[in-house]
Amino acid sequence: MSNMNDLRVKIFADGADKSSILEHAAKSYISGFTTNPTLMRKAGISDYEGFSRDILTHISDRPISFEVFSDDFDEMFEQARKIASWGSNVYVKVPITDTKGASIIPLLRKLAPEGIKLNVTAIFTEKQIQETAEALANAAPSYISVFAGRIADAGQDPLPTMRRALEIMKPYPQQELIWASPRELLNVVQADEIGCHIITVTNDILAKLGGIGKDLDQFSLETVQMFRNDALAAGFTI
């Protein structure tokens, strides 16, 4: 891969800072957006619906995900319907379980006939992928979000799980696989190489996208120059 223009995987900006979201919206290579309650809390957002509706006045041409936050399945259902009503480009994020570990699959089967675009999140296992794909077999366009980065945090290679997910989802063309929680720029290349549909990318990794295909000899030289310049700037002596 010579540069980021060769990427086939869709880049979704992951965050809840309004200024960053609008900055990314001006970039043609950003294909969508994802948020979650944790990111919103970190961004200091207190009015969940107000923030979401405000963002949607600026972004109507690309998908954006907003998450339910109830821990009760009936209330999740109502939250999902309400969030979906905010815009035709909205995908409703629902976690794969509640906080006690009860599976979301019965709720997915209930939501599927509603025509709501879903983003099933916090998925880690092949069993969860299989059950989700089957539950959404006849649903509207949906995302299955596998937390590859957190699988790696557990000391396990996420690539076999991601490849298997693509196989499981193949019979359902309206479903797209998200490589979630990437940890480094290499993950973008890996997602692209295996044919993953989408990768969610935070600001720190987005800033590195231009480095794809960089000449390693030049990179080596720049690193040496950085060490030398920092030593001089610090006034080090021996």
Q: What is the mean pLDDT of the chain?
A: 97
CB 139 within 8 A of CB 112: yes
Q: What's the pLDDT at 5? A: 86
Residue 9 in contact with residue 196, Cβ under 8 Å? Answer: yes
Which helix (H) or strand (E) segment is 19 a member of? helix 18-25
pLDDT at 236: 97
Q: What integer is the mean pLDDT of 135-153? A: 98
pLDDT at position 3 is: 82
Q: How far is CA 67 from the centre of its chain?
A: 12
Residue 144, pLDDT > 90, answer yes
- 1 pLDDT exceeds 80? no
The mean pLDDT value for 116-124 works out to: 98
Q: What's the pLDDT tens digit per position in 160-179?
A: 999 999 999 999 999 999 99
Location of structure tokens 């972004």 = 59
Domain spanning 4-213: CATH 3.40.50.620: no
- DSSP lists the bridge partners of residue 97 as 103
The structural domains of the chain, with segments of one domain joined by +, span: 4-213
Is 131 a residue whose pLDDT tops 80? yes
pLDDT in tens, 30-82: 999 999 999 999 999 999 999 999 999 999 999 999 999 999 999 999 999 99
Enter the pTM of the model.
0.95
Residue in this structure with the two tokens 């997910």, named with its chain if needed:
165
Q: Would you state the pLDDT for residue 194?
A: 98
Question: Alpha carbon of 28 to those of 24, 25, 31, 61, 203: distances in Å?
Answer: 8, 8, 7, 11, 16
Q: Yes or no: say if 135 and 107 are a contact pair by the CB < 8 Å rule.
A: no
User: Are 133 and 168 in contact, with CB atoms under 8 Å apart?
Assistant: yes
Question: Region 223-232: what's the mean pLDDT?
Answer: 98
The rounded distance, in Å, linking the Cα atoms of 52 and 65 is 10
Amino acid (1-letter code) at residue 194: I
Which residues does the annotation mark as catalytic? 93
State residue 2's pLDDT score.
72
- Model confidence at 4, in pLDDT bands (50, 70, 90)? confident
pLDDT of residue 146: 98
What is residue 212's predicted lDDT score, i.e. its pLDDT?
A: 93
